[in-house]
Amino acid sequence: MPHRITLIPGDGIGPEVASAVVRIIEASGVEIEWEEHIAGQAALDKYGKTLPDELIESIQRNKVGLKGPITTPVGKGFTSVNVGLRKALDLYANLRPIRALPNIPCRNPGLDLVVVRENTESLYSGIEHEVVPGVVESLKIITEKASTRIARFAFTYARSEERKKITALHKANIMKMSDGLFLRCFEEVGKLYPETERQSMIIDNASMQLVMRPEQFDILLCENLYGDIVSDLCAGLIGGLGLVPGANIGEKGAVFEAVHGSAPDIAGMGIANPTALLQSAILMLNHIEERAAAEKIETAMLKVFEAGKVRTRDIGGTATTNEFADAIISQIT
Ligand code: NAI
């Protein structure tokens, strides 16, 4: 039986990297029936909604989605489809493995850490209002329920992946109630996982430590906004946004997507790096227990990086998206 998976190619470079990744997955021999859906501006034009019911229902039915980036207009315009999707499906945990790849020029070769980000609340609650003209207020929501749930996810993940330490990032010196609660839940849950070392660090110091000595970290546990910012910083340590994968995981489903956005500056040029979405797809194949296919693709990808001949421009090469995908396909055995 083929797997049925929801595919959202997305905006900007999304369709370019998504089609390259689908070709690579197909070359691995795994049987997948893709249910393709649109979101964002294209869906607004067609259905009058940025997040069509058909799309939500498709992921609810299939339990798995692979998603390209979706543009969110700054200031005016529609609210984030990404945030809406995570909320609608309660994809509460965002996992971003930051692993340096062979032969990529970067600040921190050999770095291997994971950002676990709470995906449903904090300032991403999107609750904003104008108090009086010229004064606006954004509400940072932190709940015991969500903080406990994400801490449990991080400790369970550490146990299953044999990772040794979790560092919770916070600003509880200033946001004593909200970040204080997040931190307390982390400490409480951590007591149930004595084999995992736990540490907490104020986010500003952690940012400096990440630039100067990132190898001291193993898993970083963050509320939503800190996780968003810190994971881009971490992507920069290992060669950029074109490389880092992500998974949004909930009790009822999972959506796999790159950390990067729709990269309007290079959209349509055929030069985007598909590695981030490809690595997200590898996480997805492991999630659906297609471990052999995941390993085949990962081995082929690593061979291409080790050889160092075919690389996209963001990491110092000249290859197009499709040339890079073809190089990987040629290494799949
Ligand atoms: P971005 O990640 O799209 O781009 C930042 C920089 O990284 C750009 O210079 C871009 O060319 C480069 N870059 C990103 N991905 C790349 C790739 N695969 N290959 C080569 N270079 C790559 O971030 P930006 O410009 O802040 O956001 C653009 C749009 O994407 C916004 O509308 C934003 O809301 C949206 N976005 C969507 C996300 C999602 O759907 N999950 C996540 C982040 C942003």
Mind listing the domains of the chain with CATH numbers? 1-92+242-333 (3.40.718.10), 112-237 (3.40.718.10)
> Hey, is 29 helix, strand or coil?
coil
In angstroms, rounded to a whole number, what is the distance separating the alpha carbons of residues 314 and 100? Answer: 15
- Cα dihedral sign for 309, 269, 266, 230? negative
Pick from 247, 212, 211: nearest CA to 230: 211
What sections of the chain are H helices per DSSP? 14-27, 41-47, 53-62, 81-88, 144-161, 178-190, 203-212, 224-237, 275-287, 291-307, 321-331
In angstroms, rounded to a whole number, what is the distance separating the alpha carbons of residues 261 and 246? Answer: 12
**pLDDT tens for each residue of 217-269:** 999 999 999 999 999 999 999 999 999 999 999 999 999 999 999 999 999 99
Report residue 144 CA to chain centroid gap.
24
Do residues 18 and 7 touch, judged by C-beta distance below 8 A?
yes
Query: Strand 135-138 to strand 128-132: parallel, antiparallel, or no bridges (unpaired)?
Result: antiparallel
Specify the DSSP class assigned to residue 292.
H
**Which pLDDT value is given to residue 45?**
85
> Percentage of the chain surpassing pLDDT 70?
100
Tokens encoding 186:
């982390």
Q: What are phi and psi of 297, to 5 degrees?
A: -65, -45
- The stretch 268-279 carries a mean pLDDT of 98
Cβ within 8 Å of residue 87, ≥6 positions away: 120
> Could you tell me if the CB of 68 is within 6 A of ligand 1?
no
The length of the chain, given as a count of residues: 333
CB atoms within 10 A of CB 280: 27
> Could you tell me if the CB of 239 is within 6 A of ligand 1?
no
> Could you tell me if the CB of 272 is within 6 A of ligand 1?
yes
Ligand 1 atom closest to the CA of 69, numbered from 1: 40
**Which pLDDT value is given to residue 83?**
87
Per residue in 208-221, is it b (16+ CB within 10 Å) or e — as a string? eebeeebeebbbbb
Do residues 153 and 131 touch, judged by C-beta distance below 8 A?
no
**Which pLDDT value is given to residue 257?**
97
Ligand 1 atom closest to the CA of 264, numbered from 1: 28
**pLDDT tens for each residue of 72-97:** 878 777 778 888 899 899 999 999 99
Task: Name the residue of 13, 238, 260, 318 whose CB sits within 8 Å of the most ligand 1 atoms, as the mutation to test its pocket.
Answer: 260
- The stretch 178-191 carries a mean pLDDT of 98
> Could you tell me if the CB of 241 is within 6 A of ligand 1?
yes
- Report the nearest-CA residue for atom 27 of ligand 1: 261
Ligand 1 atom closest to the CA of 257, numbered from 1: 41
> Could you tell me if the CB of 72 is within 6 A of ligand 1?
yes
- Report the nearest-CA residue for atom 25 of ligand 1: 263
In angstroms, rounded to a whole number, what is the distance separating the alpha carbons of residues 48 and 44? Answer: 4
Q: What's the CA-to-centroid distance between 183 and ligand 1, angstroms?
A: 30
In angstroms, rounded to a whole number, what is the distance separating the alpha carbons of residues 63 and 255? Answer: 8
Question: pLDDT band at residue 156, thresholds of 50, 70 and 90?
Answer: very high
Residue with tokens 């500003």: 204
Q: What's the CA-to-centroid distance between 13 and ligand 1, angstroms?
A: 9
Task: Name the residue of 13, 96, 232, 262 whose CB sits within 8 Å of the most ligand 1 atoms, as the mutation to test its pocket.
Answer: 262
